[in-house]
Amino acid sequence: MKKPNRIALRSSLLISARASRGFTLMELLVVVAIIVILAALSLGGLGFAQRKQALEKCKSQIKMLETALEEYKLDTGRYPVAVDNGSNTLYRALYWDSNNDNSGVGTDTLQKVYLAELDPSSNKQGWSSNPIASAANTIKDPWGNDYNYRSGALASGATNTAAMNPDFDIWSFGPDGLPGTTTAGTDKASLDNITNWK
């Protein structure tokens, strides 16, 4: 009869004793640390994807506003003249005013809506500042700030020297919501602005 190997027997006993004890504190801490690192990486990636999606949505909305303004000009012969930051001017010209003269008083029996997505009751784009249609509504960017609009011509017909484009400017202050000090976008607050001129 063959004698059992004492070393093999002793190591198998140690392994079975260790397996019955469970995990050590160090092993548990390593596992928890790995889980935390994986969660942080996935949340960071999710935040990056959300920021990128908001930027793309803003660019898409600016393109939609540009297209609606071109249609507005075809019908009226001019672009709307901006008042204040222009977001209310855009809303009134493209959705609210039925006679499209920015007066807020509808005189035409047929109202042309240039951008149906601005309807606050549907709120498909999340653009409206108010869930109820009102002449005071503004158009919001993906970060909840008003879009800005500036016409290339003043009400007098003179050229607007502040405009970057000869027809009109549309821009968002971007994720930080800060206007910056230059329209050229060279200072830190204007670097994230999304515009139709660059």
Q: How far apart are CA 56 and CA 145, in angstroms?
A: 16
Closest by CA to 90, choosing from 138, 134, 144, is 138
Mean pLDDT over each residue of the chain, to the nearest integer: 79
Q: What is the CATH topology of the domain spanning 6-195?
A: Glycoprotein, Type 4 Pilin (3.30.700)
The pLDDT-based confidence of 102 (bands split at 50, 70, 90) is: very low
Q: What is the pLDDT of residue 99?
A: 46
The pLDDT-based confidence of 8 (bands split at 50, 70, 90) is: low
The highest-confidence range among 21-30, 98-107, 139-148, by mean pLDDT, is 139-148
Q: What is the pLDDT of residue 148?
A: 92
Closest by CA to 102, choosing from 111, 93, 110, 94, is 93
Helix (H, G, I), strand (E, B), or coil: what is residue 169?
Answer: strand
The yes-or-no verdict on residue 185 having pLDDT over 60 is no
Q: What is the pLDDT of residue 182?
A: 61
